[in-house]
Chains A and B, each alone.
Chain A
Amino acid sequence: MSIDNLYQEIILEHYRHPQGKGISLENGVEVHHVNPSCGDEITLRAAIMDEKVGVSYDNTGCSISQASASMMWELVHGKPATEVLALEAEFLALMQSKGQGTDEDESLSDAIAFVGVSQFPARVKCALLPWMALKDALLQNLRSNNE
């Protein structure tokens, strides 16, 4: 198992040129998540407007957590909330697949490259950090919309 599986070119590309980074959204629910084992941090703001999810974020951390946030942003920004939550579930399943992938993972587009990360147990949390932050913020949004 080579680290080239982990650091696939598309991942390094997003790490070097992160998409959507920087808090640009003015409103929405803001969450702050950390990975206490290595100190990775993300601040993420999400809002649901006209059924569509808006996301912006700022983060520090390793290449895997940064690339994951960048790809996540590309994948979910502007999509309906139900679809975003389904993608989150799919990404979680991919990260738990221990390198095997899942039946539905093509929906994840470029983020499918993270299948390599799922072979490295110590790095799974890095990849999941932005997705966990997003899920948290979205559920808070949905809860407050229902109230």
Chain B
Amino acid sequence: MIDVAAVKRDFPILSQRVRANRELIYLDSAATSQKPESVINAVSRFYQNTNAAIHRGAHALAEAATVEFESAREKIAHFIGAQSHEICFTKNATESINAVTYMFLNETIKAQRGIQVENPHFALQAGDEIVLTQMEHHANLVPWQELALKTGAELRFIPLNTEGRLDLSDLESIINNKTRVVSFVHQSNFLGTINPVNSIINRAKQVGALTLLDACQSVPHLTMNVKSIDVDFAVFSGHKMLGPLGVGVLYLKDPNSAPVFLTGGSMIEKVTLEKSTYAQAPQRFEAGTQAAAEVIGLAAAVDYLEQIGMEVIHRHELALTKLALEGLMQIPQVNIIGPTDLQERGGIISFTLADLHPHDVGQVLDEQGIAVRVGHHCAWPICTYFNVPATTRASFYLYNDEHDVEMLVSGVTRTLDYFGVS
């Protein structure tokens, strides 16, 4: 059980009033989560006491900043069951995925020029296949489209079914001997569906393909162990898990055999005018000055989550999801896009309301202080599949409670009244 009243008090932003002096009902954590005071303070403390460039400088502050940064890394890595050197920091999950696609592109170009590549896994050829799913966020679609365009590789997709789950019936032909990489989402940011990670990864391994898991909506909400799922890459964003904006994570199972992507200062071993050699992981992936305060803030977020417990958080969100699904489905004009049962799903609910456009639904909810997301949620192909222009999306986190769900359900009814829909 989560003492939500106590949790809410830890998040200063949640006590504010919005619009016409309404209490804020924040149901948009899938877009970005709010931050507890401990995270805000960790960032602020770093700038007040420790600020210096990490991994360089011989002075006291540089040393303290480096120690804090590296212990933050250790904590964040441990949180997903990884070792310190197996994670590197990026700006966000989008950048993490792009980084992996550039590893492929760079090695492909080298191979085409006859330059020896460190890891032939990353050198693609025309006709190689990249497998994604039909429910990917644009961040796990567009970078692969670009890669396919530049390398001649082809994209294949594991299809959706009408329930909002993946149809694995053709998995063996979709993931085949031509497949070089399989990249897919753990929990859909649009549908709330939690995908069968093991089935997909096992099939990818049978054909020797690399795997990437978009864990943006799972690391913040579930117990996650990258070792037990045995994935090659995993990505997530700090800001969706109570951490600061501007820091993301890329987990690499075999970091020292992965090609570098950003080059420059801090990631080198030895540099001459003609050529350079590169540092071991994780430094080899962290060119330039890092966002140390944000990384340290993210470690404070991990502390906060662990103190409550990821299992507890997941159960709490499922209970709210159950309540919300029951409440919303009693309104005949509501159409849930995504699973309507609680099996293998998380606390994200997308819906349409009569023929009202979600932008209008979101506006009337907003007037009541209820913050939801409207639009295609950066997963336009899902809208196309379900033949809807957009949806309204509510997403829950550890600071939401039954009252927030009741406000959502009554807010939806009020929206129907406002536009005179019966």
Contact = CB atoms under 8 A, between A and B. Distances in A.
Given A39-B390, A61-B389, A123 B367 contact: no
B422 to A, nearest CB: 14
B389 A39 contact: yes
Given A2-B20, A60-B389, A61-B389, A38 B359 contact: yes
Contact of A38 (B356, B364, B366, B375): B375
B367 A2 contact: yes
Contacts of A123: 359, 363
Interface in B353-375: 356-360, 363-364, 366-367, 374-375
Interface residues of B, number: 20
B281 to A, nearest CB: 37
A66 to B, nearest CB: 8
A126 B359 contact: yes
A34 to B, nearest CB: 10
A128 B359 CA distance: 15
B25 to A, nearest CB: 16
Interface string B379-416: 01001000001100000000000000000000000000
A111 B37 CA distance: 46
Contacts of A7: 360, 363, 418
A59 to B, nearest CB: 10
B137 interface: no
B380 A39 contact: yes
Interface string A39-65: 111000000000000000000111110
A61 B363 contact: no
A37 interface: yes
Contacts of A3: 363-364, 366-367, 418
Contact of B359 (A2, A12, A41, A64): A64
A125 B375 CA distance: 14
A126 to B, nearest CB: 7
A38 B367 contact: no
Given A2-B20, A63-B357, A38 B374 contact: yes
B17 to A, nearest CB: 14
Given A2-B367, A37-B375, A63-B360, 12 more contacts: A1-B19, A2-B20, A7-B360, A38-B359, A38-B374, A39-B383, A41-B389, A60-B389, A61-B357, A62-B357, A62-B360, A120-B363
Interface of B: 19-20, 356-360, 363-364, 366-367, 374-376, 380, 383, 389-390, 418-419
